Amino acid sequence: MDTTRFKSKGFYIPGIITLIIFAGLVTLPLFGSLYNVILITTLLMYANLTVSWVLFSGLTGYMSLATAAFFGVGIYASALFLPITGAELPILVVVLIGGLASSIIAFGAGALTLRLRGIYFTIFTFGLVVLIMELLNWWELSVNKILNRYIMLVDNNYIFYVMLGLFVLVMLTFFFIRRSKFGLAMRSIGENEEAASHMGINVTMVKIVTFAISAFFMGATGAIWATKLSYINPHEAFKVLISFLPVLMAIFGGMGHIYGPVIGAVIFAYLQETLQTKFSEIYMLSFGVVLVLAILYMPHGLVGLIQKVWRRISGGKRVHT
Amino acid sequence: MLEVSNLNAFYGNIHVLWDISFTVKEAEIFALIGANGAGKSTLLRAISGLLLPASGTITFLGQRIDHLSSNEIVELGLSHIPEGRKLFTEMSVRENLEMGAYTKPAWVQKAETLKWVYEIFPILKEREKQLASTLSGGEQQMLAMGRGLMSRPKLCIIDEPSNGLAPRLVLEVFKVIKSLRDQDITILLVEQNVKHTLETADRACVLENGRLALDGTCQQLLDSEHIRKAYLGL
């Protein structure tokens, strides 16, 4: 494991920076404007999805496009249990329901399909998004005769704190899994699945469990995010773009380091927010350009680039092996 | 120690293993010889739980293992060192070895086993921190074997260890295999290098077109006309 890296003094500087950022985030609603609170809630939402995605796909190498499915299931949990009038369950319980529902679906879908490899698994996960959306659409229109569901209004600061709490949880989970024996098993599956099973790893179990953990955070994030949306319907809840953005953000940030997906998500989401408001006609186009440049010139993402520059500044004493 | 009886296996509709029966005794090197496509690898996949046999039984240490999954089989003490090494190339040598000790009983004695493996392959200790992909072919084969030993196996299946190695290294690999037997580890060796194998192993069987063609002690096989003609070119 990477214990040597963490033991060296390089561990303290990121640790202190993390603490400062965390302190800033916790106190943000006290001094920040409402706009900033909402903006950072959005950034955290993307960070949660990206880190959850990397937690499964980055380590095992199974590219999942089911993010939108789990996120949407979370959103729908809120729509069902937090209606605009007469909500009976506390918000945090609904967030938990959103997460659990997603991980149950991930568990079932994983048990069925995680023996598929490569592109077949990816296609299936993408199909899952469409499948759940169409099922819900049919159920709403034909059975319930409902077009839109209206969701309870929640204070922005409260949403922010729940999102932040989820962010801390997903980061801790990611951090500890990466360094654990379980994380080692996941990496070995990502590298060579057959060899991993020769090592005595129950590869199917490891994959399914991780898929479910990752889905839990996606669902929980969706559930709290839904309270910002005021109304939803299946098409609003299951946007395919949500499946692709975390992949792009993770590539952009770099998956080799725990901070990579976070940095990628934050910068990417910030760009998206600002470009969308200022240059709404070309924002998708500029995204594409940024991504192509990122893949061409930063194969290990932003974090990889930073590490490279840092090594050059520090005289290349710590050669990467 | 390992008993395979009347084993039949299919890939889809294709019958690849026909009524295979043999027994591997404790603390011996048992060799499985055969040309490309004879069904050697399929047989190994069936033994280590990656392929479900259509009929027949596989017994390991008195326990049926033909319906167990590969991770359960590893835990019983059967280690499979796969053909083509199949290393975790983006992990360090040390991490590769640690992965080998993944099962619970092996994980507990990981440090001790690691010392033992480093004694057998001192080069791995030197290369400890390097990524597996940076090793030479011979070192990679040693790492694959070391990783397989990390699970503290009672029976070790070694698939084509001499594949792609320089002649000098082939001799070294066979020497190590012999030394493992001397430490009471039973070896099921699969090889195309028939001459060296028959000189190293105690007993052997020959697989041809998915059927068992011959079996016996290595001396018997070396003397057999069929082996001399078809495999040794004499």
DSSP secondary structure string for all residues of A3-23? HHHHHSGGGHHHHHHHHHHHH
Task: Tell whether A201 lies on the interface with B, counting CB pairs under 8 A.
Answer: yes
The structure tokens listed for A312 are 């050059």
Q: pLDDT, tens digit, for every residue of B117-164?
A: 999 999 999 998 999 989 988 889 999 999 999 998 999 999 988 888
Query: In this structure, what token pair is assigned to residue A293?
Result: 């440049």
Q: In terms of CA atoms, which chain A residue is nearest residue B156?
A: A198
Task: Using CB atoms within 10 Å of the CB of residue A178, give its burial: 0 to 12 exposed, 13 to 18 middle, 19+ buried.
Answer: buried
A307, part of any domain: yes
Q: For residue A274, what pLDDT is reported?
A: 83
Count of domains observed in chain A: 1
Q: Is A207 part of a structural domain of the chain?
A: yes
Indicate if the pLDDT at residue B47 is higher than 80.
yes
Whole-model pTM: value is: 0.84
In the numeric block, the tokens 């819900």 are attached to: A136
Give the lowest-confidence range in A105-109, B18-22, B163-167.
Answer: B163-167
Task: Note whether B130 contacts A321, CB cutoff 8 Å.
Answer: yes
Per-residue pLDDT band at A315 (split at 50, 70, 90) = low
Query: Per-residue pLDDT for A11 more than 70?
Result: no
Count of positions (residues) in chain A: 321
Q: Is residue A286 assigned to a domain?
A: yes
Subunit contact A195:B87, Cβ cutoff 8 A: yes
- Counting residues of chain A whose pLDDT is more than 90, the rounded percentage is 39
Residues of B in contact with A201 (CB under 8 A): 71, 102
Residue A316 confidence (pLDDT) above 60: no
Q: Most confidently modeled of A113-122, A297-306, B70-79?
A: B70-79
* A124-129: long-range pairs with CB below 8 Å, 24+: A125/A64, A125/A65, A125/A66, A125/A69, A125/A243, A126/A65, A126/A66, A126/A240, A126/A243, A128/A66, A128/A69, A129/A65, A129/A66, A129/A68, A129/A69, A129/A72, A129/A238, A129/A240, A129/A243
Q: B14: helix, coil or strand? A: strand
Determine whether the interchain pair A195/B88 forms a contact, defined as Cβ–Cβ distance below 8 Å: yes
pLDDT at A7 over 50: no
User: Where is A294: in which H helix or E strand?
Assistant: helix A283-297
* Local confidence band at A214 (pLDDT 50, 70, 90 cut-offs): very high
Cβ contacts (< 8 Å) between B69 and chain A: which residues?
Answer: 202
Domain boundaries, position A259 = 3-313
- Report the residue count for chain B: 234
Torsion of CA A107, A109, A111, A117, to 10 degrees: -130
A180 at the B interface (CB within 8 A)? no
Is the pLDDT score of B25 beyond 80? yes
Q: Which of B42, B65, B68, B71 to mutate to test the interface with A (most CBs of A within 10 A)?
A: B71
Distance CA B97, CA B87 (A): 10
Chain-wide mean pLDDT for chain B?
A: 88
- Tokens 């809630």 appear where? A41
Residue type, B6: N
Q: Which residues of A touch B51 (CB under 8 A)?
A: none
> pLDDT-based confidence at B227, cuts 50/70/90?
confident
Give residue B29's pLDDT.
Answer: 92
Read off the pLDDT band of A135 (50, 70, 90): very high
Residue B94 distance to chain A (closest CA, Å): 9
pLDDT at residue A105 in the model: 95
Nearest to B68 by CA among B57, B82, B84: B57
Per-domain boundaries in chain B? 2-77+154-230, 86-144
- Contact residues, chain A, for B102 at CB < 8 Å: 181, 184-185, 199-201
A321, part of any domain:
no
Taken in order B174, B176, B178, B181, the sign of the CA dihedral is negative
Tell me the CATH number for domain B2-77+154-230.
3.40.50.300
Query: A278 in helix, strand or coil?
Result: helix
Residue with tokens 């998500």: A265
Look up residue B93 and give its two tokens. 């040598």
Nearest-angstrom CA–CA distance, A90 and A108: 27
- Whether pLDDT at A317 is above 60: no
Other Cβ atoms within 10 Å of A306 Cβ, number: 17
- Residue B96 token pair: 């590769």
Nearest by Cα to B36 from B194, B145, B229: B194
- Label residue A41 by pLDDT band (50, 70, 90): very high
